[in-house]
Amino acid sequence: MLNKIKALEAIALGLEPDQETRATFREQVVRHSEKFLETIEELPAYLMTEDQGVGLLAAPLSEEGISMSEALELVAHNVDRPGLNPASGGHLGYIPGGGLYLSALGDYLADITNRYSGIFFPNPGAVRMENMMVNWMASLVGYPETAAGTLLSGGSLANLACIVTARDAKGIKAREVERSVIYLTSQVHHCVTKAFRIAGLGEAIIRYVPLDAHYRMDAEALADLVEADRADGLNPFLVVASAGTTDTGAVDPVDLIADTAAAHDMWLHVDAAYGGFFLLVEEGRKIIRGLDRSDSIVMDPHKGLFLPYGTGAAIVKDGKRLAESHHYTANYLQDALKYDGEMSPADLSPELTRHFRGMRMWLPLKVHGLAPFRAALEEKLWLTRWFRQQLMEIPNMEVGPEPDLSVTLYRYVPPQGDANHFNERLTQHVHEDGRVFLSSTKIDGVFYLRLACLSFRTHLHTIENCLQMLRDCIGRVKEELNMVSG
Ligand SMILES: *Cc1c(COP(=O)(O)O)cnc(C)c1O
């Protein structure tokens, strides 16, 4: 038996490379990542390929390992190359972010030490670090010290945690769901409506509040709807506002919405996954007002703080509500709360064992300081406004409303022919071109292109490239549709 154990040990030791091998691996991985970063300006923001990374499947897992350089070759060809390049400053579609280098190093540290960040008792420092990040965000929002929150994988799970909390805080039992009413706009992110279903609220009554001309929630219409529902004997319990919608970047009038929520004792949740960090700049604070009056909020550090994907924050003003919906046992919560009021992430979300997400946020914020984050965010606001101004110089270009934040809509309206068809073709040409990546949307049947400016790598020259690319692509569509060039 001892011989068997020793033989197994000899093979298992393959999992623990020695110092020299570690250095070689590290150097190979760093060289690979450096090559990527050094060419990031020239790499396409979007690359259409035939193979779509299928080469990975040609190299299935096997008993014998392969060399690091072979592995990196597979990554370079099949993962780094095809499709969207979200690390590029030219990523101006959906909602970008970029991916800070210091977050990658933070992840490296977190993964090497593998601290257990779920519970305070085994790893007080790791939990304090995460809670410190949450408390900082809570103070940005203007929440009092009663607030608590947690870092999850992204905005979708963070919204879910808040919706579940709202449901429980308002005492919505299964038998009451059908007469319970939730208010939101058609512009709310789809993960919120998905969260209703997961949270057992799929049969609740959903009221889509009309939008104003800026795609913001019409607060007066909300008040009328709630009053009518009350008069009908229904139970309005939740309103979901957005501080920066994904599609149009619109910021709902949270302060006015809060008046209605307060008057009817409703939970006010704000999805600020995209827009929340614009609170770091004065220009943003002029637009995003009244967040302190909400009951819960979601902010995505992997958007507005430029972290790599994998971090979204759920924060609840009355933090014990979040714990009441998510803690494991009442006795256990008692313990967790004993430690100087430091809550454990495991009591604040469905997760137990989890990635130590605090480190990837704390390290860049501490080492860079806040100033460059504020500057990068304000730069994005002005770049978006400048882009829109420049678009207005292009004949037949129609622009959407003045942007609240850093998303703007536009479309080309050809003198003859179907505008939707033209803009669909334009989007296709933009994707084939790939210098920068833009995405499109449809609002009330009208096809628009969007610009979403949020990567820390996007600067003036990126927007200039984008404008040039749009001009080129408009020309190509005209040629394709046999329109007279002009
Ligand atoms: C991105 C986004 C979400 C979803 O967040 P993920 O991090 O992608 O899960 C939710 N709401 C808004 C407003 C968003 O922009």
Q: What is the pLDDT of residues 403-412, one digit of tens each?
A: 999 999 999 9
Q: Is the CB of 271 under 6 A from ligand 1?
A: yes
Report the percentage of the chain scoring pLDDT > 70. 97
What's the mean pLDDT in 150-161?
A: 98
- Whole-number Å distance, alpha carbon 191 to ligand 1 midpoint, is 7
d(CA 42, CA 123): 43
- Whole-number Å distance, alpha carbon 215 to ligand 1 midpoint, is 18
- Out of 191, 193, 196, 277, mutate this one to test ligand 1's pocket (max ligand atoms within 8 Å of CB): namely 191
- Cα within 13 Å of Cα(71), Cβ side: 10
Provide the token pair at 36.
């990527």
390 - beta bridge partners? Answer: none
In this prediction, residue 144 carries a pLDDT of 98
State how far the alpha carbon of 164 is from the alpha carbons of 114, 160, 291, in Å: 30, 6, 20
Q: Is the CB of 311 under 6 A from ligand 1?
A: no
Q: Is the CB of 185 under 6 A from ligand 1?
A: no
In this prediction, residue 480 carries a pLDDT of 95
In this prediction, residue 376 carries a pLDDT of 98
In this prediction, residue 336 carries a pLDDT of 53
- Whole-number Å distance, alpha carbon 153 to ligand 1 midpoint, is 11
Closest C-alpha to 303, from 247, 246, 372: 246
Closest C-alpha to 106, from 421, 366, 305, 399: 366
In this prediction, residue 342 carries a pLDDT of 83
Q: Is the pLDDT of residue 329 over 80?
A: no
Residue nearest to atom 6 of ligand 1 (CA): 155
- Whole-number Å distance, alpha carbon 246 to ligand 1 midpoint, is 7
CB contact at 8 A, 44 and 434: yes
Range 65-68 contact pairs with CB under 8 angstroms and sequence separation of 24 or more: 65/14, 68/24, 68/25, 68/28, 68/29
Virtual torsion, Cα 80, 82, 86, 91, nearest 10 deg: 140
- Whole-number Å distance, alpha carbon 285 to ligand 1 midpoint, is 20
In this prediction, residue 328 carries a pLDDT of 77
- Whole-number Å distance, alpha carbon 467 to ligand 1 midpoint, is 27
Residue nearest to atom 5 of ligand 1 (CA): 155
In this prediction, residue 483 carries a pLDDT of 82
Residue nearest to atom 12 of ligand 1 (CA): 273
Q: Is the CB of 151 under 6 A from ligand 1?
A: no
Q: What is the pLDDT of residues 186-215, one digit of tens each?
A: 999 999 999 999 999 999 999 999 999 999
Sheet holding 440-443, edge to edge: 397-399, 407-412, 446-452, 440-443
d(CA 406, CA 275): 9
- Could you give phi then psi for residue 243, rounded to 5 degrees? -105, 80
In this prediction, residue 43 carries a pLDDT of 92
R_g of the chain, CA atoms, integer Å: 25
The structure's pTM equals: 0.96
- Out of 246, 288, 296, mutate this one to test ligand 1's pocket (max ligand atoms within 8 Å of CB): namely 246
Q: Is the CB of 274 under 6 A from ligand 1?
A: yes
State how far the alpha carbon of 243 is from the alpha carbons of 208, 348, 391, in Å: 17, 23, 25
Q: Is the CB of 93 under 6 A from ligand 1?
A: no
| Atom in ligand 1 nearest the alpha carbon of residue 272 | 13
In this prediction, residue 482 carries a pLDDT of 87
Maximum Cα–Cα distance across the chain? 85
- Whole-number Å distance, alpha carbon 26 to ligand 1 midpoint, is 33
Q: Is the pLDDT of residue 276 over 70?
A: yes
SS3 sequence, the chain? CHHHHHHHHHHHHHHCCCHHHHHHHHHHHHHHHHHHHHCCCCCCCEECCCCCCHHHHHCCCCCCCCCHHHHHHHHHHHHHCCEECCCCCCECCCCCCCCCHHHHHHHHHHHHHCCCCCCCCCCHHHHHHHHHHHHHHHHHHCCCCCCEEEEECCHHHHHHHHHHHHHHHCCCCHHHHHHEEEEECCCCCHHHHHHHHHCCCCCCEEEECCECCCCCECHHHHHHHHHHHHHCCCEEEEEEEEECCCCCCCECCHHHHHHHHHHCCCEEEEEECCCHHHHHCHHHHHHCCCHHHCCEEEECHHHHCCCCCCCEEEEECCHHHHHHHHCCCHHHHHHHHHCCCCCCHHHCCCCCCCCCCHHHHHHHHHHHCCHHHHHHHHHHHHHHHHHHHHHCCCCCEEECCCCCCCEEEEEECCCCCCHHHHHHHHHHHHHHHCCCECCEEEECCEEEEEEECCCCCCCHHHHHHHHHHHHHHHHHHHHHCCCCCC
pLDDT band of 340, cuts 50, 70, 90: low
- Out of 274, 302, 306, 454, mutate this one to test ligand 1's pocket (max ligand atoms within 8 Å of CB): namely 274
Q: What is the pLDDT of residues 370-405, one digit of tens each?
A: 999 999 999 999 999 999 999 999 999 999 999 999
- Could you give phi then psi for residue 426, rounded to 5 degrees? -60, -45
Q: What is the pLDDT of residues 95-112, one digit of tens each?
A: 999 999 999 999 999 999
- Out of 95, 152, 307, 441, mutate this one to test ligand 1's pocket (max ligand atoms within 8 Å of CB): namely 95
| Atom in ligand 1 nearest the alpha carbon of residue 300 | 7
Q: Is the pLDDT of residue 486 over 70?
A: no
Q: Is the pLDDT of residue 119 over 60?
A: yes
- Whole-number Å distance, alpha carbon 302 to ligand 1 midpoint, is 10
Q: Is the pLDDT of residue 439 over 80?
A: yes
Q: Is the CB of 189 under 6 A from ligand 1?
A: yes
Q: Is the CB of 94 under 6 A from ligand 1?
A: no
d(CA 226, CA 362): 41
Provide the token pair at 152.
């999850």
- Whole-number Å distance, alpha carbon 391 to ligand 1 midpoint, is 27
- Could you give phi then psi for residue 84, rounded to 5 degrees? -80, 140
Q: Is the pLDDT of residue 324 over 90?
A: yes
